[in-house]
A and B are shown apart, each in its own frame.
Chain A
Amino acid sequence: MTTSARTAAVNGKIRTEDEVVAQLSDGMTLGIGGWGSRAKPMSLVRAILRSDLRDLTVVSFGGPDVGMLCAAKKVKRVVFPFVSLDSIALEPHFRKARESGEVAATEMDEGMLLLGLQAAAWRVPFLPTRVGLGSDLPQVWPELRTVRSPYPGPSGDEGEELIAVPAIHLDAAIVHVNRCDADGNGQILRADPYFDDLFLEAAKNRFVSCEQVVPTSELTNGHPVQSLRIHRLMVDGVVEAPGGAHPTSCEPDYPRDEEFQRRYAAAAREEDGWPRIRQEWLRDCADHDNRTTDNANTQERKVLS
């Protein structure tokens, strides 16, 4: 047995989606990795849809993860720089939830979300930036504060006033990657890692779903070490979820399911469209989702043997 396998045997990080969701609770702040309609941990989102969870604050570079959780009335507030389906610019289910007043918003610049997560990860209360100055962000985000630089300006005058982006602490984070070992060493093979590692580092409870759980020794076999963006120090639970990003893309394993996404978007305009598309999606993914904890344990034993 290798060292990493022994670690996994001790830590027992392999989980099913339902086991992960059982560790979440009402009112939590949940960070979701990926970007728009790309690389979203959608099998975990489905598990949330099946659960009784509610009143979540969702932090996301948002896509259908946000739209579906809003449509299912799981969300109290969305913290976001954008919500988009990429090939469909606006997320219609999210729009509906916002325009009806059901869901509150904390809006920010994309780079501010990076800084807020980074501040949480580094355990500092804020990070300074010029981003947001002059815009209406301080009006739509009333908690946002500025800070005066303690250093003089270039001509010896008073230091510059900057935005102090507050640390964005997450109770839990979920991300989806291509491959992971049983210890939680995650490998991202798509061209852009987005901010998945930062979401994990900003969170108390950290979960990675992956297309495939592989032995540690296979991670760097044919792939550069730089693809190992996620280390087990950043991970509490690993879910093997082949196809787990559907309908979003999980490059290079598969592209976005544009056909499903079109029907999902169109459902926002139909009476009872959401329950219908929800049921269809859950049914089509039932083979994966019906795996039991026993199966996951079998999977862990298989990986470790």
Chain B
Amino acid sequence: MTSAAESVSERTTPADVRRADICCVAITDGFRDDGEILANPIGTIPTIGVRLARRLYEPRLAITDGEAMLLNDTPPIGQPGVVEGWNPFRRMFDVVWGGRRHVVMGASQIDRYGNQNLAAIGDPAQPSVQLIGFRGAPGNTINNTTSYWVPGHSKRVFVPRVDVVCGIGYDRAAELGPETAKSHEIRQVVTDLAVLDFATDDRRMRLRSVHPGVSVADVVSATGFDLAVPDDVPTTRMPTAQELAELRRLDPDGLRYREVSAA
């Protein structure tokens, strides 16, 4: 593990590629084979990553304008597009419960099986920190594919045990049985440091790749539980020249660098 960490941290990032670009492309790779489903990213980098996937790899993906419209083209974030459909929140539940969707949610806390908390820190009856609420996390995770985006990888987020389970992880899904949990899948967790997945025998979180310039030790020390760490951890791939050009078109104002500012 030590040698892998060293070899990774020795690599350098080309000057014209920043960490946020790598995060966008890592999100993109999670949607490449999804087919004709609704890609529903929450957050700036997930939105850019999904639009990149739609533009270059999976044109069948359906995307929204962030509100009630489905877009036929792939405009830069924040700009209007060609409307192909109407998807107000009422319709969104039809899509979620029908299963034809891949959502990227945030997580205030996440544990080794992918249980996620958005609701409260402390005792939920009288929380020490009242967070936003359960939102759609229980329904999303049991009905369609879910990925997570964590722009600040830290022990505050990656915890041994979440205070409230909103989005359900693989241990909870397994207890429900194959029929009830048939649509449960946590595709990946992308952070500002690494890409993680659950490709282990017991569905524990695994370190799939570390971003260029980040060591395995950096990720392990920012994670509050024992990650599955393979002997040889690859480096998250760099964007291609075509992807970089497309990233500049999709986000001309560089909003992605506000979400992840690292070089």
Contact = CB atoms under 8 A, between A and B. Distances in A.
B88 A194 contact: yes
Contact of A94 (B96, B119, B130, B136): B130
B134 A81 contact: yes
B148 to A, nearest CB: 15
B176 A134 contact: yes
A192 B143 contact: no
Interface string A84-117: 1000011000110011010001011111101000
B124 interface: yes
A191 interface: yes
Contacts of A132: 138-139
Interface string B109-131: 00000000001000011111111
A137 B115 CA distance: 13
A135 B137 contact: yes
Interface string B175-197: 11001110000000000000000
Contacts of A192: 67-68, 88-89
- Pairs A-B, 3 closest by C-beta atoms: A82-B133, A131-B139, A134-B168
11 contacts: A35-B89, A82-B135, A95-B129, A107-B119, A110-B93, A114-B93, A134-B173, A135-B167, A136-B124, A154-B179, A195-B90
Contacts of B164: 136, 140
Contacts of A47: none
A135 B89 contact: no
B26 interface: no
Given A109-B134, A137-B134, A194 B124 contact: no
B166 interface: yes
A89 B175 CA distance: 33
Contact of B132 (A90, A108, A130): A90
A83 interface: yes
Interface string A129-147: 1111111110110000000
Contact of A195 (B89, B138, B165): B89
A62 B131 CA distance: 13
A106 B138 CA distance: 15
B53 interface: no
A252 to B, nearest CB: 13
A192 B119 CA distance: 25
Contacts, number: 129
B69 interface: yes
A98 B130 contact: yes
Interface residues of B, number: 42
A109 to B, nearest CB: 4
A109 B96 CA distance: 13
A12 B139 CA distance: 42
B119 to A, nearest CB: 6
A35 to B, nearest CB: 7
Say what secondary structure dominates the interface of chain A: loop
Contacts of B134: 81-82, 107-110, 135, 137
A99 B129 contact: yes
B133 A107 contact: yes
A26 interface: no
B142 interface: yes
A195 B124 CA distance: 26
Contacts of B130: 90, 94-95, 98-99
A177 to B, nearest CB: 14
Given A62-B133, A136-B164, 16 more contacts: A84-B132, A84-B133, A94-B130, A98-B130, A109-B137, A112-B138, A112-B139, A114-B90, A130-B97, A131-B143, A133-B138, A133-B168, A135-B172, A140-B164, A161-B180, A194-B88
B103 to A, nearest CB: 12
A35 B88 CA distance: 12
Contacts of B143: 130-131
Interface string A50-75: 00000000000010000000000000
B124 A193 contact: no
A274 interface: no
A83 B132 contact: yes
A126 interface: no
Nearest to B116: A135
Contacts of B132: 82-84, 89-90
Contacts of B165: 134-136
B137 to A, nearest CB: 7
A115 B119 CA distance: 20
Contact of B67 (A140, A160, A191): A191
B133 A81 contact: yes
Interface in B41-70: 67-69
